[in-house]
Structure 1
Amino acid sequence: MRDLDSDSQPQSNTLLDWYDHHARSLPWRISPSDRAAGVWPNPYRIWLSEVMLQQTTVAAVKDYFHRFTNRWPTVADLAAAPDAEVMGEWAGLGYYARARNLLKCARVVTDQHGGDFPDTYDGLIALPGIGPYTAAAISAIAFDLQETVLDGNVERVMARLYDIHTALPTAKPQLKEKAAALTPAHRPGDHAQAVMDLGATICTPRNPACSICPWRAPCAARLAGTASELPKKTPKKPKPTRLGIIYLARRTDGTWLLEQRPDKGLLGGMLGWPGSEWNDAPTPAQPFDANWQDIGEEVRHTFTHFHLILQVMLADLPADFIPQNNQRLIARHDFKPTDLPTVMRKAFDLWKAR
């Protein structure tokens, strides 16, 4: 078999030829033909898409991306937006620390960089909420810098192309080294997107379409018959289950009692129902004394590191109730269930379906 590392330029050219004909059409992407004609990506749109795509699928992100860019077309528009409006628009996308960092980053870019994203890896990684992967992706895709972009798709392609059996995450440095060797000085942004597209459409986790892959010939795992086994991953530990209690309280005029969660931690900064801590044996934490009634159904939700089961309690909200600390009274015409994080919206849906 040929030495792939010494043959990187032909391999990159083969992939770019494939990408020119098969690139996915994505709302934040500049097509290869437009890019060849001198149309450059908007760094704001690339940054926004990359933040949204962390731990989230393209299909889930598209609608959010359209809503954000229609409502806040520039980074300065986003920077000027009230926190609550941005958090509400983000609701349902999960990993809410991303939304908080999104605002922090937008305000730094606007206030300290005149609304222009830095055009270097070092400048980008210094911004709030931008780590090595996101800095490399923006550098390559928005500014055509020769940076190595390593997401799950790229890891899978590299593991198969080189038949690497070291399990993830241990294999990451080796896979990045292989990806870097293939990254060309010419069209590195298109190359990065091409490898990601290859993993998303051809070199898929299950049943890879090896017969139509542009890297079929040099793929070591195809030749060894091991493609479907790769990449190998260290077995995950079983997720624990935590329990909690949430309290839905509503006035006869439709006003709801909600609370704003602390900025740090799960669902940080989001509005949700008052409730207990989430642990093995939650202690009741009623927001006020009342005849609380169990609605008879549980909210079940899964986060990255644990499963959650919530008991849902219901009571009438007193007309003279005065909110305390982080509590909020939301009038009927201001209450938007879509602004709630998914786990909280599930409780509302159970209440509505009673």
Structure 2
Amino acid sequence: MEGVISLGVGEPDFDTPYSVRQAGIKSLEEGKTWYTANAGLAPLREGIARYLQRRFDGLTYDPSDEILVTVGGSEAIDIAIRTLVDPGDEVIIPEPSFVCYTPIVQLAGGVPVPIPTREENEFRLTAQELKDALTERTKLLVLPFPNNPTGAVMERRHLEEIAQVLRGTDVMVLSDEIYAELTYGGLKHTPFAAIEGMWERTITVNGFSKAFAMTGWRLGYACCPAPILAQMKKAHQFAIMCAPTVSQYAALEAINNCDDSIEEMKEEYDSRRRYIVDAFNKLGLPCFTPKGAFYVFPCIRSTEMSSAQFCEELLYSKKIAVVPGDAFGESGEGFIRVSYSYSLSHLKKAIKRIGEFLEERQG
């Protein structure tokens, strides 16, 4: 459909930083187009280790056998689940959340166990909800925070409550921290592996797509204890061989020299975040104030439309594309996901049309 204003895709509208693009070009000009080691370039893994220690509570991994470079964070999630989950194993997934967890668990023969998170709890997973969901078949907990689609975060005190429930169990944790750099209001992200006693049971997934505006470069990484990573590497080497070489050289520049770019983009996202939350509230669509990522999750129940109906009618009548909340789990029904990874002028045009849509519906 021509002329559509999309607020649907979770993709930064910034260009990849110039020096990162140049590093990728230089690697091609120098003929660095061969396979790398399965785990990724050694200097990149070393850079990732320094970056995590520098940016996140001194989080420490050995680059020689505890870090694996993957094709986006998505591959890291896939091979982590395939490594840990046997047929019949239960995997706890707080929802609403990123759409890939449940299908990947099912592909591995596992049993997804969704836990609906609630707006009154700021869409966080609570310790009691986790405790109630645990069974003798629970193998893995997915922690998707900062969260897509709600923008919810888990602060250190909340993570410590989750850790207390897990102590004394054999449950592993997949902590998807792809939005770790995008937290607002002075809030600093705490990796789950940094909580006392949790490093040994946690696979931390991160990547370059969101923080460095490198979505199309398809580069992520997984970090975890060496015995687990060794098994993940088997799935990676047989299915993938290695992540794209040019992307690895570009990422090396990003991880070593682009902290300032992260902060510049984050500041702009924060400005958009404040604008769009206020705008939806003024339109009469109550909007939880996100503390992370670059999404808002306004409630559309007052319109008496389903999430899918709202999105479809908005698309056809006003050419605005947003995502139905139930795409992220049944508990997302009654909400829509709106990405603010777009320019302020783009957002303002979209909000104007959404306002017209609501007025026409009421009139």
TM-score under structure 1 normalisation? 0.26
Q: Looking at both structures, which has the greater relative contact order when contacts are Cα pairs under 8 Å and sequence separation is at least 6?
A: 2
From the CA coordinates, give the structure whose radius of gyration is larger.
1
